[in-house]
Amino acid sequence: AQRVTQPEKLLSVFKGAPVELKCNYSYSGSPELFWYVQYSRQRLQLLLRHISRESIKGFTADLNKGETSFHLKKPFAQEEDSAMYYCALKGAAGNKLTFGGGTRVLVKP
């Protein structure tokens, strides 16, 4: 079975401070991990995926298979980063995504 856990429902940081959103997963094979973001009144958008190993909007995430984690980080948060963030896992065999519960990020001025 696939499971994704985001332990923090809400993260509140000041502008310019670092932010880290935790994501842990449970999967017996080799998963593909994603971070999706949903800004206020907008659709869910792909932020980044672990196989791309890229930085989007200053965010990075590294897959740690030993700790089964895929934490999302940004060194200097901006007000426009305020949004809902979902970590998601796709198993090797199928197409479907399993989502974590989501973390709401609030960046205060």
Partner 1 sequence: GAVVSQHPSWVICKSGTSVKIECRSLDFQATTMFWYRQFPKQSLMLMATSNEGSKATYEQGVEKDKFLINHASLTLSTLTVTSAHPEDSSFYICSARDRVQPQHFGDGTRLSIL
Q: Give the interface with partner 1 as residue ranges (CB under 8 A).
A: 34, 36, 42-46, 49, 86, 94-102
Nearest approach, Cβ of residue 83 and partner 1 (Å): 14
Q: Name which of 94 and 109 has its Cβ closer to partner 1.
A: 94
Name the DSSP class of 8.
Answer: -
Name the DSSP class of 103.
Answer: E
Nearest approach, Cβ of residue 16 and partner 1 (Å): 28
105 neighbors 83 (Cβ within 8 angstroms): yes
Nearest approach, Cβ of residue 20 and partner 1 (Å): 20
d(CA 109, CA 106): 10
Take residue 11 and report the two structure tokens written for it: 């993260």
Q: Name which of 15 and 90 has its Cβ closer to partner 1.
A: 90
101 neighbors 9 (Cβ within 8 angstroms): yes
Q: Name which of 15 and 50 has its Cβ closer to partner 1.
A: 50
